[in-house]
Structure formats: C-alpha cells, structure tokens
Amino acid sequence: MKRALIIGVTGQDGIYLAEHLLELGYKVYGVRRPSTIPEASQRRMKEYNNDIFEQITWIYADLADGSSLRRSIEISQPDYIYNLGAQSHVRLSFEVPEYTADINAVGFVRLLDAVRALHAEKNVSIYQASTSEMFGNSSTKYQNLSTPFNPLSPYASAKLYAHNVGLNYAKSYGMKIRLGILFNHESPLRGTNFVTRKITRAVANRSVHGVKKALKLGNLDSRRDWGYAKEYVQAMNLILEKGVESEYIVATKSHESVRSFLEKAYSVVGINISWEGKGVDEVGICSSTGDVIIKIDPWFYRPNELDYLCGDFSKIKHELGWEPKTTLNELIELMVQSDIYKAKATIV
Ligand code: NAP
Ligand code: GDD
C-alpha cells in the first residue's frame, strides 16, 4: 500500500486530495496543527465527508517546527509527501509578511531538511504547492514555463523562494521534488475570505435568508484563471507520480474578471446587477428592487495588485493527459447551489 503524508490536509485542496488518494487505495497521514479549538480547522472536512476524517491517520505538526516535521516523517514513513501547508491569503500576507515567509518559504526548507536528516531523500517523492502568483503582471497573454517570475506580494515572494529551493535541492541532493504551478482553483470548500466563495456565500444568504446588507469587495476588475479544485488535486497526484519534469502548470487557459464572476453568481438566483459610480464610490444595484447590494471597501484593495492571470496547461495535457473539464459557469452554479444548501440547513 502506498503511503502519503499531506501537510495542509485541512485546507480546500488537502481535503479533496485526501479523498482522491483514499479512493486510489493509499494510506493517508494528515498533519494537523495544535489548536485550542481543534474543531475549527477540522469542521470543513467533517462536514464535507466525515469518512475522510476517520480514515486519515492524524499527526500533530507545524511547518514552523522542524522537529515536528521530522517526527511526522518518522511516524508515516511516506512514499509521497504533499506540501500544501501555507498562509495562503495574498492580501493578508501584507499584514503578516514575516509569518508568511516563515511558513511558506522557510517551512518548505524545514521539510526538505527533515527528509534529509532522516536519510530519506532517495525514498520520498515530494510535491510542493507553487502558484501562478509567482508570475505577477506578465506581458504575455498566457503564462507558461518560459514566463519570467515577478512576484508582487510577500505571499508570492515566499512561494517563489520555496519553488527555487525545491529546484536547488532536487539538483544538489538528487531528491525527487515536483513543483505544481497552479492557477486559482475554487470549490464549495474554498475559504470564505477568498473572493469567489465570499461572493457565492453572500448570494446564498441574500437568496435564502433575505440578508439585505451590501457585500463589500475590493478590486472588481482583476482577472483570474479559475478552475475546479477537485480536478486540480488529480493533477497534483499525476505530477508527483508520473511527472518526469520538475515543473508543471495547471490552469484552464481562460480568464474572467471578479465583476463578471459576481454577475454570473447573482444571476443564478435571478438577480441582475447594474453598476453606478466610479472607484470607491461604485455600487452594484439590484435591477429589480433598486437595492444597493455591492459596495467597494478599499480595505480589500491590495498594496500591489495582480491584474491578470491566464495559464497555458498544454505541457501537462500532452505529457500526463490532464485537462480541465468543469467550465467556470458550471463551477459558479455548483458553488452557489452548495452555499444555498448550507444556508437552508441553518434554518431551524
Ligand atoms: P487553504 O485552504 O488556505 O489551506 C491551507 C492549509 O495549510 C490548511 O490546511 C492550513 O491548516 C495549513 N497550514 C497553514 N499554516 C500551516 C503551518 N504553519 N503548518 C502546517 N500547515 C499549515 O489553501 P488551499 O486553497 O487548499 O491551497 C493549498 C496550497 O496550494 C497552499 O499552499 C496554497 O498557497 C497553494 N495554492 C493554492 C491555489 C488556489 O487557488 N487554491 C493556487 C495555487 C497555489 P489550518 O486548517 O490549521 O489553518
Ligand atoms: N479575497 C478577496 N476579497 N479578494 C478580492 C475582494 C475581496 O473582498 N474583492 C476583490 N478581490 C480581488 C483581489 O484583489 C484579487 O484580484 C482577486 O479578487 C482574487 O482574490 P483571491 O480570491 O483572494 O485570490 P488570489 O488570486 O489573490 O489568490 C488565490 O490564488 C492564488 C493563485 O493564483 C489564493 O488561493 C492563493 O493562495 C493562490 O496562490
């Protein structure tokens, strides 16, 4: 039986990846962080599918603590390690830049050195969750492995450090390290402080509970290449086990603005939006009731914005046969319907 250790298993991708690996017959070990309220980080997985929670062998560890990473490797004796653990919020990385660097950059070095300290570098294959944020605002229509990196945030800078260290250690010590550069991917399990889920939850709360308060957002005109997280974890598994190169891009090769995502999400419940005003004074108005349902709050602006991302996934398609299947319209529909279901479940 193949053994996989997942760091970041309680996050969106970790939950889907654990589900996928369990379905493939792996023994899955999951890292959880010590917490005074353990239910908080486990709730997402338990509500989605309690069987996943029950089937994982849990180990307490933290990317800030090298000794705990060594211990987690000793306990799990993994064939595969997936490092999905991160402070993954770009806007918040400007609030906690040192912490973001410690976890997202140095944390990966701690993990690699834990593997080396146990002389396991020839036995373990390691996946690192790299990101399209590393490209920054490039001048190309599609970002691919020839596009220069130009990180715009502490988050992206830390991820690029980890990415480069992954390449260094693979070359220096002959370690099998695979770097998946994933573009944005969303799902009903997405954290509620990322823009897509923040929107779909607000749509559901307005539709089910009649919440009247306007949704406050930041920049509506940035464009992202949004795919479905459940499909992206399958790409991670292929990259780690079948990938012959160090780096792969996972994306949909299409892009949409936050504004367009929002309009599509509200249209699922029959709400059309018209726009008035400019900049921080712009508002989104419900065309049928005249209510202001969207406002701009500059707090959600970033000190440095990434305006456009659109990834070229041709390499993973040709080499590993992976390609995206779910369209953005389908993804929006399934996220809104999931949030409507959850909102109805809270009515007693
Ligand atoms: P997520 O939902 O924010 O999950 C992050 C995970 O990392 C959680 O399990 C979290 O645990 C864990 N974590 C945080 N700090 C940690 C620490 N100090 N030690 C160990 N674990 C820690 O993120 P996601 O969307 O699933 O993304 C997974 C990975 O892919 C992240 O590294 C992210 O940066 C990267 N990525 C994501 C996307 C995307 O669009 N989703 C795109 C490219 C790359 P708690 O539950 O305890 O907080
Ligand atoms: N979070 C958030 N909240 N973003 C907003 C808001 C808001 O209220 N209003 C507008 N936005 C804009 C952001 O400025 C950004 O341009 C876009 O919506 C997407 O923001 P997020 O959903 O926070 O995602 P992200 O693109 O910054 O980062 C995600 O994708 C990266 C891959 O490209 C995260 O998952 C990262 O961890 C990941 O690496």
Give distance in angstroms: CA of 104 to centre of ligand 2: 17
pLDDT tens for residues 219-243? 999 999 999 999 999 999 999 999 9
Any idea which residues carry the catalytic annotation? 131, 133, 155
The stretches of the chain forming alpha helices (DSSP H) are: 12-23, 38-48, 50-55, 66-76, 90-93, 97-100, 107-117, 154-173, 195-209, 229-242, 258-267, 314-320, 328-345
Length of the chain: 348
Please report the pLDDT score of residue 35 as a whole number: 87
Residue 348 confidence (pLDDT): 63
**DSSP structural state of residue 220:** S
Residue type, 273: I
> Cβ distance 104 to 92 under 8 Å?
no
Residue 132 in tokens? 């399209």
CA-based angle 325:327:333, to the nearest 5?
125
- Confidence (pLDDT) at 346: 82
Residues paired with 27 in a beta bridge? 3
End-to-end alpha-carbon separation of the chain, Å?
Answer: 45
Of 303, 283, 299, which is closest to residue 291 (Cα–Cα)?
Answer: 283
The structural domains of the chain, ordered by start, are: 3-186+225-250 (3.40.50.720), 195-223+256-305+325-344 (3.90.25.10)
Distances (CA, A) of 145 to 245, 246, 315: 11, 11, 9
Q: Is 238 in the pocket of ligand 1 (CB under 6 A)?
A: no
Residue nearest to atom 27 of ligand 1 (CA): 13
- Identify the pLDDT of residue 172: 97
Low-confidence ranges of the chain (pLDDT < 70): 348
Burial group, residue 171, by CB count within 10 angstroms (0-12, 13-18, 19+) = exposed
295 CB under 6 A from ligand 2?
A: no
Residue 219's alpha-carbon distances to 49, 297, 311, in angstroms, are 34, 9, 21
Name the residue at shortest CA distance from atom 3 of ligand 1: 88
Residue 51 makes CB contacts below 8 A (sequence gap 6+) with none
> Does ligand 2 lie within 6 Å of residue 193's CB atom?
yes
Q: What is the pLDDT of residues 260-269, one digit of tens each?
A: 999 999 999 9
DSSP 8-state assignment for residue 323: -
Task: Give the alpha-carbon dihedral of 208, 210, 214, 219, to 10 degrees.
Answer: 10
3-class secondary-structure state, position 153: coil
Q: Give 306 Cα–ligand 2 centroid separation in angstroms.
A: 9
Helices (H), 210-228: none
Number of Cβ within 10 Å of residue 107's Cβ equals 25
Euclidean distance between CA atoms 89 and 100, whole angstroms:
9
Q: Ligand 1 atom closest to Cα of 32?
A: 47
226 within ligand 2 shell (Cβ under 6 A): no
Question: Which residue's alpha carbon is nearest to atom 2 within ligand 2?
Answer: 195
Task: Report the C-alpha gap between 9 and 127 in whole angstroms.
Answer: 13
